[in-house]
Structures are given as C-alpha cells and as structure tokens.
C-alpha cells in the first residue's frame, strides 16, 4: 500500500505534468494511491439501451446506440457550438457540444455506430443531449453494467476533464500489477469473521463493479476498513494516555457531599443523574485522570451533577473550578453554586474579565493558600496568573466554545493533571461521539426532571404575524416573559442587523406597555451584559436578540420563544433556542415564523421541530440532513473527520462492528506486536501520522 503512495501520479500513463498539477490542486490526488482511493460518489446503470422513440417525460441519464447523421457548427467566438443529429432507427435526437467544438468534430464520424450516454433534456417537444459520453460500439464488449461517476470541480470541467477521464485513468491503474498485488490491510481472521471482500477485489469493484451485489460488498469492506482504523487509532491513543497519566484519587465520600445530599438538595435526583454521578465516582477513584464528556439536553440538570462532583473533590481536600464560555453564564453559575455551597459552608468566588483588581488579588491569595474551595469563572480562570493550591477537578460548561488548547492549559494547573468534566447540551449522536470524542468517556443524562412539560412548538407563516403577537401579548399579561429572535448569520450581514433593529422598533410599538431590551453579537460585552441583565432580573419582559442567547441562559419565567425567519436557522440551533423556555413549571411555547415557500429539506427541518422535543432525535436528523462535518460544535473540535466512503450519519452499525473489533484487537495485542498487529500498526502510521495528532486532543 505504502509503495503506491510513493508513486507520483504524473507517471501514470495518460496523465503527465500538466494534468497531474490539476489533479493535485483540484482533487488532492498526488499519487497512485490517492487516485485508487478516489471513489465514485454514485453509479449509473449502463446495462440498458433505450430507444429514442420510447423517450418520454423527464428522463434520467440514458444510453442510446446509433449513428450521427450530420455535424453542424453554429455561432461564433464564445457562442460557438456544435450540433449533431443522432439516430438509432426509431427516431432522432439532437446532440450539442458547447466547447472543444473542433476537436470533437474531428474525432467523431457519421455512419459509424456509437453508444452515447447522457441526460436528455426536453425542449419544445424535442429531446437533446448536451456533452454526452461517446464510445464506439463494440458488439463483443457485452453490456457495460454499473459505471462509477466521479466528483469533479468546475475548473476540471473547463479543462474538459470528465468523470470518464477519471474512469480511464483508474482503469489504467487497476490493470497494473502493483494494484492487483496489493496486500490486504486486515488480518485474515477479521476478513472471515466479518465476511469481508479482500482489499484488491474491493478496490476493483468500487470503481468498476461487476454487479450490484459485488458493489455492495466492496462498499461494505471499504467502509468497515475506514472506520476500523479510525477506531483502532483512537482506542490505542486512549490506552496509552490511560497508562501514562495518573490522576488524583478521591477515595472517600465525605461530609460535604453527605450533608448536601441529605439536608440541602431541593429535589430528588433523576435516575440518570444518579447513574452519571456513579460513573464519575468510579473514574475519580480509579487512580487515572478522568476525561469525561457529560451530555445532557438543555434543562436536564447538569449543573447539580457538576456541583456534587466538585464536593467530592473538596471532601478529599482538593479545590475545584467551573468554567463557562460567557460572563453571563459564569455569573449565573456563580449564583446557583454559591447558594448551594453557602448552605454547607463551602467557599466560592467568581472570576471573570471584569473582576476588579482588588477582588482579583484577594481571589489569587485565597486560591494559593487553599482557603477558596470552588472558583467559578470564564476563561479568565485559565490564565497563567491564576494559581491553585491543589486543583483536582475542572468542569467545563458548554464545551464547544472552548478550544482544545485552552483545555490543555487546565491540565497544567497542578503537578498531577486535574480531572476534567466537559458538559455539553449539544446532543452529539452516538456515532459521532464515538469518533470525535472517542478518547473521552461519555456519560449521558437522558431523562428530564419530573414535571417538565414539553415545549409546544408551532410553525407559523408571515401572514400570521398579528395573531402570533396577540398570543405573545396574552402570555405577557399573565406575567411571563418572551424571547424574540432574529437571524444574524454573519456579523458582516448589514441587512440582518437592519432587520433586527427594525424588529426591535416594531416590537416596542406593538407592545407599548412592556419594557423591551435588545442584544446582538456586535455589542460591547458590557452593554450586552447590561441588556441581558434587564431580562434576567425581570425588569424587561421582552428580549429581542440574535442567537447570542443560544447557550445556557436560564430565565424560568420566560414562556415564549418566537423565532423570526426560522427557515434560516439550522436544526440544532433551533433546538438550543427552544431550550431557553420550558424551564419553569408553566406551559411554554416555541413559535417558528417562516415564509411559506420552502424547499423540501427546510420544511422537513421545521417539521421535525414541531414533532419532537428530544434533542437526540433532533441531532440525528440534523446529521442526516447536513452531514456530520457540518454539525455545530464539531468544526471547533479540531478533528478533521474526512471520511472517503463511510458516513457517520448512516453507517452507525458498521462503526459499531469496527469499534468492537478494534477493542478486541487491542485487548489481545495491546502493543500491536504480533505479526498481524505489526501490519496494523504500519497501516495506522501510514494513515494517521501525516494527518491528525491525537495526542494533542484531550
């Protein structure tokens, strides 16, 4: 395999220096290996030959067999094109080329039998095909069967590179002995256990399938292989880290924890919360550093889990901190946590960018002498000047706003790296979590506290505005508060900002008896906090905002979330926004305002919102619609998920098999030192050394 990656694509027959430059730049194909692993993205069935007289309605790509009757160049300069009339004896069809007119006219002849392949377009009762693939008819060749279609860029198309050009290069490659002699990358026992098609055969079939069944087996094999090595790599890294990084041991459950649990907990924990606390306790007693991701839908009660975990640290004589992405959230946590901590005599302080110097100095001092037990803050608390006496646990809330590097900084806050608990409300589908966070252990709170009413969600159109406002007015009259959200996709979008400002004016006019406040991402932090503060304290009843409120804000009295131009938001964004309401005991409402004309996907997206309030269903649906690379939160995770053939959205089952097998392999041969293991190790190095440095990702 590695030897193919050493062969420069320019030496392949039919490529040469010019085309190799194009292939490298446009498709990232530099070597024989890259070309061999450039798979078709779909296949067309070329086993049927259509008759021109049978064409009707909107036709897919089809194949015709016949002769050109005449070629007629038309137009001049840029408008030059070549028309040809093609017949198969049952009728005629027009064939058109818009570029390479001269070359084409010279290469095809009238009277000779060809097979042409393309998509017929119906225009004024007549079909025509533009830029078909044209091959001499070869009676002894048999039916062409399935043919791969390759993705191209516009630039390649302009240089008359077609999917067919790629096919031809691949065919040349497939006939070379270096390819047919490729050694399998997977051990024989795995091939037979999972009934996998051998590698060399799969590579042939993925490009040139003999039939549908072989294509499917080849796809399965290559997807499996891709996911297997991905998992093997992650798991091996986890293992080496667990071996290397010791963690502080929290051996006892002490009096702070017990006092709080028995005397001050305002509610009983849900089953899911109890289970998660148990999982965390097991980590903390293991002697290894914990790196755990805690997932729980908005409102599922992650804060209390974090707090009780912190008490475990304190009971064992250590300090703990919790870090939030914004000042508003940090302040909110501080309020909740100091109330609970105060009841049991645990000391807490808040440190943010706007903490005054005097207060900051005092915090620094109390941190180093150990007087302060819990520090709540923004990223201000990871600055080097902040030193702890004995930090043993760092909780990170709403993780996707934090970079990997910032997390790593936390590790250095003590001689033994503190345990890390990352909390996120962005529900990450299981398959994605296994891949992106494969090195973090995952706990899930999959149960909401009792008595929560699901938020009623409605889709309404622009002409319903008046009615909707009347409804909002009704809620305000009952003493509730409302969010009204406008899209602001990019900070630079002036028109969005204008819509937001106009919206603000309109809302003030519509609700003259209420106070309206206003936030967007371009405001100065202090101004933003001031405006948010008006809403949180209840001084303002309506908050007009952009998605800046998406994360974590908790105003239980708010019962309406009205989202303007909802069609412009992504699913998980809508779900996060909806999570801002339904936090109190009252029935809450989420109203999605949209224009009436919607694409199918967009309508589906909005309907998903009205049909489910389950964050995981929303996330799975989101991944299906948009693909995993696009999923919010994953871009910032710093892990390129660049899969050639497998899809995290649809190949979850294969991923599970691959993960199970990778685990088995490592259990039997942790160092990959057996003969089979060494081969896997070589492949891992080949695949990942140039790509991702997993050791830098916590």
Q: What is the contact surface with ligand ADP in residues (CB under 6 A)?
A: 267, 269-270, 273, 296, 298-304, 425, 449, 554
- The entry of ligand ADP, Mg ion, none near residue 299 (CB within 5 to 8 angstroms by kind) is ligand ADP
What are the angstrom distances between the C-alpha of 567 and each of 1, 486, 494? 47, 11, 19
Residue with smallest beta-carbon separation from ligand ADP? 301
Least distance (Å) between residue 580 CB and ligand ADP: 10
- The entry of ligand ADP, Mg ion, none near residue 230 (CB within 5 to 8 angstroms by kind) is none
Least distance (Å) between residue 379 CB and Mg ion: 17
Number of residues that bind Mg ion (CB under 5 A): 1
DSSP class per residue in 21-69: HHHHHHH---BHHHHHT---SEEEE-S--B-GGG--SS--SEEEEEEEE
Q: Which is nearer to ligand ADP, 120 or 615 (CB)?
A: 615
Q: Which is nearer to Mg ion, 398 or 621 (CB)?
A: 398
- The entry of ligand ADP, Mg ion, none near residue 300 (CB within 5 to 8 angstroms by kind) is ligand ADP
Q: What is the CA radius of gyration of the chain?
A: 31
Q: Give the C-alpha separation, 264 to 592, whole Å.
A: 40
DSSP class per residue in 386-455: ---SSEEEEEEESGGGS-HHHHHHHHTTSSSPPEEEEEE-S---HHHHHHHTTTSEEEEE--PPTTPPPP
Q: Which is nearer to Mg ion, 288 or 407 (CB)?
A: 407
Q: Which is nearer to ligand ADP, 431 or 554 (CB)?
A: 554
Strand, helix or coil at 589?
strand
Strand, helix or coil at 656?
helix
Q: Give the C-alpha separation, 345 to 338, whole Å.
A: 10
The pair of structure tokens assigned to 55 is 């064409």
Least distance (Å) between residue 556 CB and ligand ADP: 7
Q: Which is nearer to Mg ion, 426 or 559 (CB)?
A: 426
- The entry of Mg ion, ligand ADP, none near residue 267 (CB within 5 to 8 angstroms by kind) is ligand ADP
Q: Give the C-alpha separation, 300 to 304, whole Å.
A: 10
- The entry of ligand ADP, Mg ion, none near residue 170 (CB within 5 to 8 angstroms by kind) is none
Least distance (Å) between residue 339 CB and ligand ADP: 10
Q: Which is nearer to Mg ion, 306 or 544 (CB)?
A: 306
- The entry of Mg ion, ligand ADP, none near residue 429 (CB within 5 to 8 angstroms by kind) is none
Least distance (Å) between residue 578 CB and ligand ADP: 12
Dihedral angle at the C-alpha atoms of 384, 390, 393, 399, nearest 10 degrees? -10
- The entry of ligand ADP, Mg ion, none near residue 431 (CB within 5 to 8 angstroms by kind) is none
Q: Which is nearer to Mg ion, 116 or 551 (CB)?
A: 551
- The entry of Mg ion, ligand ADP, none near residue 285 (CB within 5 to 8 angstroms by kind) is none
- The entry of ligand ADP, Mg ion, none near residue 247 (CB within 5 to 8 angstroms by kind) is none
DSSP class per residue in 517-559: EEE-TTS-HHHHHHHHHHHHTTS-SEEEE-GGGTTT---TTEE
- The entry of ligand ADP, Mg ion, none near residue 298 (CB within 5 to 8 angstroms by kind) is ligand ADP
Give me the residues paired with residue 128 across strands.
94, 121
Least distance (Å) between residue 571 CB and ligand ADP: 18
Smallest Cα–Cα separation from 32: which of 153, 160, 182? Answer: 182
Least distance (Å) between residue 96 CB and ligand ADP: 59
What are the angstrom distances between the C-alpha of 338 and each of 54, 374, 530? 78, 9, 22
Q: Give the C-alpha separation, 383 to 230, whole Å.
A: 34
Residue with smallest beta-carbon separation from Mg ion? 552
**Neighbour count for residue 172 (Cβ, 10 Å):** 15
Q: Which is nearer to ligand ADP, 82 or 337 (CB)?
A: 337
Site string for Mg ion, 538-577 (x = CB under 5 A): --------------x-------------------------
Q: Are the CB atoms for 179 and 36 separated by under 8 Å?
A: yes
Q: Give the C-alpha separation, 283 to 279, whole Å.
A: 7
Q: Which is nearer to ligand ADP, 231 or 270 (CB)?
A: 270
Least distance (Å) between residue 299 CB and ligand ADP: 5
Q: Give the C-alpha separation, 558 to 482, whole Å.
A: 5
Exposure pattern of 628-639 as b/e (b: 16+ CB <10 Å)?
A: beebbbbeebeb
Q: Which is nearer to Mg ion, 377 or 552 (CB)?
A: 552
Least distance (Å) between residue 177 CB and ligand ADP: 59
Site of interaction with Mg ion (CB under 5 A): 552
């Amino acid at each position: 395999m590695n030897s193919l990656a050493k062969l420069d694509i320019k030496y392949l027959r039919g490529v040469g220096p010019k085309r190799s430059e194009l292939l490298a730049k446009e498709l990232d194909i530099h070597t024989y290996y890259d070309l061999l692993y450039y798979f078709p993205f779909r296949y067309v069935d070329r086993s049927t030959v259509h008759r021109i007289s049978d064409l009707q309605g909107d036709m897919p790509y089809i194949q015709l067999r016949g002769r050109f009757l005449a070629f007629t160049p038309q137009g001049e300069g840029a408008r030059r094109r070549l028309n040809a009339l093609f017949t198969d004896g049952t009728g005629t069809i027009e064939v058109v080329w818009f570029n390479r007119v001269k070359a084409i006219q010279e290469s095809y002849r009238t009277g000779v039998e060809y097979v042409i392949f393309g998509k017929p377009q119906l225009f004024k009762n007549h079909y025509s095909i533009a830029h078909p693939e044209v091959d001499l008819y070869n009676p002894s060749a048999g039916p062409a069967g399935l043919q791969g279609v390759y993705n191209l860029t516009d630039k390649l198309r302009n240089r008359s590179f077609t999917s067919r050009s790629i096919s031809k290069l691949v065919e040349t490659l497939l006939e070379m002995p270096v390819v047919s002699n490729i050694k399998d990358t997977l051990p024989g026992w795995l091939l037979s256990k999972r009934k996998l098609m051998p590698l060399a055969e799969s590579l042939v079939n993925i490009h040139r399938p003999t039939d549908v069944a072989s294509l499917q087996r080849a796809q399965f094999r290559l997807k499996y292989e891709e996911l297997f090595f991905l998992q093997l790599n992650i798991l091996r890294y986890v293992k080496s880290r667990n071996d290397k990084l010791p963690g502080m041991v929290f051996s006892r459950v002490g009096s702070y924890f017990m006092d709080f649990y028995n005397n001050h907990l305002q509610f009983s924990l849900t089953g899911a919360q109890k289970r998660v606390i148990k999982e965390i306790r097991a980590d903390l007693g293991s002697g290894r550093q914990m790196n755990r991701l805690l997932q729980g839908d908005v409102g599922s009660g992650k804060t209390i889990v974090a707090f009780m975990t912190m008490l475990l640290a304190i009971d064992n004589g250590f300090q703990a901190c919790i870090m939030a992405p914004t000042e508003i959230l940090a302040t909110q946590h501080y309020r909740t946590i100091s109330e609970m901590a105060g009841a049991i005599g645990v000391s807490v302080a808040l440190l943010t960018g706007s903490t005054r110097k005097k207060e900051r100095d005092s915090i620094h001092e109390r941190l180093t002498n150990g007087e302060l037990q819990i520090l709540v803050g923004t990223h201000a608390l990871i600055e080097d000047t902040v030193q702890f006496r004995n930090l043993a646990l760092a909780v990170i809330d709403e993780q996707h706003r934090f970079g990997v590097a910032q997390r790593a900084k936390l590790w250095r806050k003590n001689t033994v790296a503190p345990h890390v608990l990352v909390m996120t409300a962005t529900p990450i589908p299981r398959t994605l979590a296994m891949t992106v966070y494969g090195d973090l252990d995952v706990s899930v709170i999959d149960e909401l506290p009792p008595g929560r009413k699901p938020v009623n969600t409605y889709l309404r159109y622009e002409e319903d505005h008046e009615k909707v406002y009347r409804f909002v007015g009704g809620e305000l009259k009952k003493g509730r508060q409302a969010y009204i959200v406008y899209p602001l996709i990019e900070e630079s979008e002036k028109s969005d900002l204008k819509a937001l400002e106009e919206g603000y004016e309109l809302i003030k006019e519509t609700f003259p008896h209420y106070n309206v406040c206003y936030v967007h991402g371009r405001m100065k932090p202090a101004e933003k906090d001031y405006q948010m503060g008006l809403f949180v304290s209840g001084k303002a009843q309506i908050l007009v905002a952009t998605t800046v409120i998406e994360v974590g804000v908790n105003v239980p009295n708010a019962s309406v979330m009205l989202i303007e131009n909802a069609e412009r938001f992504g699913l998980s964004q809508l779900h996060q926004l909806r999570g801002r309401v339904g936090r109190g005991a009252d029935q809450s409402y989420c109203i999605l305002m949209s224009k009436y004309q919607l694409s199918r996907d967009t309508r589906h997206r909005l309907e998903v919102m009205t049909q489910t309030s389950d964050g995981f269903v929303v996330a799975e649906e989101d991944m299906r619609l948009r693909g995993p690379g696009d999923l919010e939160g994953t871009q910032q995770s710093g892990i390129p998920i660049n899969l050639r053939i497998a899809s995290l959205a649809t190949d979850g089952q294969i991923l599970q098999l691959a993960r199970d097998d990778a685990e088995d392999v490592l259990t039997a041969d942790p160092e990959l030192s057996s003969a089979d293991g060494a081969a896997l190790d070589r492949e891992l190095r080949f695949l990942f050394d140039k790509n991702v440095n997993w050791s830098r990702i916590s």
